[in-house]
């Protein structure tokens, strides 16, 4: 079966992989590149567990074909920390217990980081609408929203 | 699983040739937010996927003859970030931005929303109200098609073999014009329209409506252009009496299905209620 040879950038590193047409970017990240921080929830773009960015734009990696990544820059949860230093959102999610089972957390963090890059001072409403596509089956939304708001304030003060 | 061929041509004529050669087994990929879901649920089993995002015409928003030409694969997020487009056609942009989550907005496009041909597509009633024209490219060149003439039924379009919607043109509009879109859904975000209404209207210097178009979604096999609803506004100052007539004409145009998300009676009534509200918003925007 013919495979596509794809050259892309993932978390700043040039990366090559082989994939079949029907493999999604999520399949490629997890099964071919073993970047298993990105989670599969629904597989139909409803839950946001598989959130990554392509060229700085948030997407559900389950709704992108792996072959579409050719020539584009992908950022995943694995690129969020700087070595052993957690991103302020990651640090604050731990400190403020903004996670329960943790399956939605990578997607939430990638989406929240993208929001704060675009809008360092979001209102609570803006945070809630921005993260509306990230479902938390534990329903821990309040702590998530509070942690994002608190991190935004800390990052503005930094 | 059968081997699926993937092509990402650089120009529309190559894409059209691939699509024609693929027959019914080829599918166009723009944002993929419908296509990939349909493939995963085995609703479709294409043997060829033609990604049109490497074609520059499908990926750009350009000013043209006082209006805007929007590439069929431009994602919703880019529409919202385009200040001139958002100022000129706020109703079309707000309709497109209602489609799905932030993540879906990173991919979902006007062209995909139109060609998926769901009766509940949010952007379609707003585009119909705007008088939007799709540029359709096929084996024999390009033709212009009014947006309301693309869908012929749920999941069905008037596109011939090898034809692709390349872009959507929103025409120049006179001063004192405004448009708006609202939908009813059972929650505040992330749902499919039970009813959707888009209205675009133009006022003269005295505040009399000189032109109007009303697009209606999710209450018939396709989104509709409702002439009698527009007629209820034209020649009036869009007062309460005109809004009553608008609501009645909009409800009269409904032939909805009865399902768990809305009964026939509910959808028909809500269509009129939404039309009133949408006209009021469009009026405010036009009077600015």
| Residues A92 and A129 placed together within one structural domain of the fold | yes
| Residues A143 and A100 placed together within one structural domain of the fold | yes
**Interchain CB distance below 8 Å, A59 and B41:** no
Dihedral sign for Cα atoms in the order B19, B24, B26, B30: positive
| Residues A72 and A111 placed together within one structural domain of the fold | no
Residue-wise pLDDT tens digits, B115-139? 999 999 999 999 999 999 999 999 9
Measure CB to CB from residue B102 to each of A1, A58, A63 and give the nearest one: A58
Name the residue of chain B whose CA is nearest to A4's CA.
B6
Distance CA B258, CA B169 (A): 34
Region A91-105: mean pLDDT is 97
Confidence of residue A77 (pLDDT cuts 50, 70, 90): very high
In the listed set A79, A114, A143, which residue is the last one of a domain according to the structure?
Answer: A79
Residue-wise pLDDT tens digits, B139-172? 999 999 999 999 999 999 999 999 999 999 999 9
Confidence of residue A25 (pLDDT cuts 50, 70, 90): very high
What is the pLDDT, as a whole number, of residue B23?
A: 87
In the listed set A25, A55, A79, which residue is the last one of a domain according to the structure?
Answer: A79
Percent of chain A with pLDDT over 70: 99
**Interchain CB distance below 8 Å, A130 and B6:** no
- Contacting residues for B115 by C-beta, under 8 A, at least 6 apart: B28, B72, B150, B157, B159, B165
**Interchain CB distance below 8 Å, A133 and B5:** no
Q: What is the DSSP letter of A31?
A: I
Distance CA A130, CA A117 (A): 13
> Alpha carbon of B69 to those of B65, B131, B133: distances in Å?
9, 13, 9
B-chain CB neighbours of A60 within 8 Å are: 101, 103-104, 107
* Closest C-alpha to B107, from B162, B59, B142, B140: B59
Distance CA B209, CA B205 (A): 10
What is the pLDDT, as a whole number, of residue A1?
A: 58
* Closest C-alpha to A53, from A103, A124, A117: A117
Give this prediction's pTM: 0.96
| Residue listed under structure tokens 């040739």 | B17
**Which range of residues forms the domain containing residue A126?**
88-157
| Residues A74 and A124 placed together within one structural domain of the fold | no
Report the number of distinct structural domains present in chain A: 2
Residue-wise pLDDT tens digits, B41-58? 999 999 999 999 999 999
> Alpha carbon of A52 to those of A30, A80, B32, B265: distances in Å?
12, 11, 16, 42
| Residues A70 and A92 placed together within one structural domain of the fold | no
Region A49-76: mean pLDDT is 98
Percent of chain B with pLDDT over 90: 95
A-chain CB neighbours of B41 within 8 Å are: 44
For residue B257, is pLDDT > 60? yes
Structure tokens at A81: 């920390």
Domains and CATH numbers, chain B: 5-51 (3.30.43.10), 56-170 (3.30.465.10), 177-287 (3.30.390.50)
Residue-wise pLDDT tens digits, B173-219? 999 999 999 999 988 878 899 999 999 999 999 999 999 999 999 99
| Residues A95 and A153 placed together within one structural domain of the fold | yes
Residue-wise pLDDT tens digits, B85-106? 999 999 999 999 999 999 999 9
CB B228 within 8 A of CB B252: yes
Measure CB to CB from residue A21 to each of B5, B32, B100 and give the nearest one: B5
Structure tokens at A60: 């559900």
Interface residues of chain B, partner chain A, Cβ below 8 Å: 1, 3-6, 8, 29, 31-33, 36-37, 39-41, 49, 51, 53, 75, 77, 100-107, 189-190
What is the pLDDT, as a whole number, of residue A2?
A: 74
| Residues A69 and A115 placed together within one structural domain of the fold | no
| Residues A75 and A12 placed together within one structural domain of the fold | yes
Which secondary-structure segment (H or E) carries A156?
helix A141-157
A-chain CB neighbours of B79 within 8 Å are: none
**Residue B287: exposed, middle, or buried by beta-carbon count in 10 A (0-12, 13-18, 19+)?**
exposed
Interhelix angle B90-97/B123-130, nearest 10 degrees: 170
Distance CA A80, CA A118 (A): 16
Residue A46: half-sphere exposure toward Cβ, Cα within 13 Å: 9
| Residues A16 and A56 placed together within one structural domain of the fold | yes
Q: How close is the nearest chain A Cα to the Cα of B232, in Å? A: 36
User: Can you list the alpha helix ranges (DSSP code H) found in chain B?
Assistant: 12-22, 35-40, 76-81, 83-88, 90-97, 102-105, 110-115, 123-130, 227-231, 240-252, 264-287
Task: Tell whether ipTM is more than 0.90.
Answer: yes
In the listed set A33, A57, A79, which residue is the last one of a domain according to the structure?
Answer: A79
A-chain CB neighbours of B5 within 8 Å are: 21
| Residues A16 and A68 placed together within one structural domain of the fold | yes
| Residues A120 and A147 placed together within one structural domain of the fold | yes
Measure CB to CB from residue B102 to each of A1, A24, A133 and give the nearest one: A133
Residue-wise pLDDT tens digits, B217-227? 999 999 999 99
Edge-to-edge order in the sheet of strand B5-7? B5-7, B48-51, B26-29
CB B51 within 8 A of CB B12: no
Confidence of residue B2 (pLDDT cuts 50, 70, 90): low
CATH code of the domain in which A143 resides: 1.10.150.120
Question: How far does Cα B186 stand from its chain's mean position?
Answer: 21
Question: How far does Cα B24 stand from its chain's mean position?
Answer: 24
A-chain CB neighbours of B32 within 8 Å are: 63-65, 68
What is the pLDDT, as a whole number, of residue B190?
A: 81
Measure CB to CB from residue B102 to each of A64, A67, A111 and give the nearest one: A111
Question: How many CB atoms sit inside 10 A of residue B23's CB?
Answer: 11
CATH code of the domain in which A31 resides: 3.10.20.30
| Residues A12 and A74 placed together within one structural domain of the fold | yes
């Amino acid at each position: 079966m013919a495979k596509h040879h794809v050259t892309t950038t993932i978390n700043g590193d040039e990366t090559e992989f082989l994939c079949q047409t029907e493999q999604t970017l999520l399949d490629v990240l997890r099964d071919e590149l073993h970047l298993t921080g990105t989670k599969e929830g629904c597989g139909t773009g409803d839950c946001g567990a598989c959130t990554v960015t392509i060229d700085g734009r948030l997407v559900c990696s389950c709704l992108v074909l792996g072959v579409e990544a050719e020539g584009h820059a992908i950022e995943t949860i694995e690129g969020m920390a700087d070595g052993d230093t957690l991103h302020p959102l990651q640090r604050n999610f731990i400190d403020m217990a903004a996670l329960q089972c943790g399956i939605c957390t990578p997607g939430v963090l990638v989406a929240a980081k993208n929001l704060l890059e675009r809008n360092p001072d979001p209102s609570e409403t803006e945070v809630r609408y921005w993260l509306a596509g990230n479902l938390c089956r534990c329903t821990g939304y309040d702590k998530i929203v509070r942690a994002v708001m608190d991190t935004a304030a800390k990052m503005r003060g930094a | 699983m059968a081997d699926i061929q993937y092509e990402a041509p650089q120009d529309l004529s190559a894409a059209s040739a691939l699509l024609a050669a693929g027959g019914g087994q080829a599918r166009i990929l723009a944002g993929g937010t419908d296509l990939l879901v349909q493939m995963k649920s085995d609703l479709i089993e294409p043997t060829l996927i033609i990604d049109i995002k490497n074609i520059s015409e499908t990926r750009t928003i350009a000013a043209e003859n006082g209006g805007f030409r929007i590439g069929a694969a431009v994602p919703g997020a880019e529409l919202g970030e385009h200040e001139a487009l958002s100022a000129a056609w706020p109703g079309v942009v707000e309709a497109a931005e209602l489609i799905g989550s932030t993540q879906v907005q990173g991919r979902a496009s006007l062209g995909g929303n139109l060609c998926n041909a769901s009766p509940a597509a949010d952007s379609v009633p707003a585009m119909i109200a705007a008088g939007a024209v799709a540029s359709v490219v096929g084996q024999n060149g390009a033709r212009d098609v009014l947006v309301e003439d693309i869908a012929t039924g749920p999941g069905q379009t008037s596109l011939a073999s090898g034809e692709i919607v390349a872009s959507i043109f929103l025409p120049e509009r006179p001063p004192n014009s405004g448009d708006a879109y609202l939908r009813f859904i059972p929650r505040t975000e992330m749902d499919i329209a039970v009813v959707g209404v888009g209205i675009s209207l133009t006022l003269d210097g005295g505040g009399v409506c000189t032109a109007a178009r009303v697009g209606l979604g999710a209450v018939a096999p396709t989104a509709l252009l409702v002439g009698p609803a527009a007629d209820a506004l034209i020649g009036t100052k869009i007062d309460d009496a005109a809004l009553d007539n608008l609501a009645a004409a909009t409800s009269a145009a409904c032939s909805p299905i009865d399902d768990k998300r809305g009964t026939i009676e509910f959808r028909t009534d809500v269509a009129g209620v939404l039309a009133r509200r949408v006209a009021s918003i469009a009026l405010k925007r036009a009077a600015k």
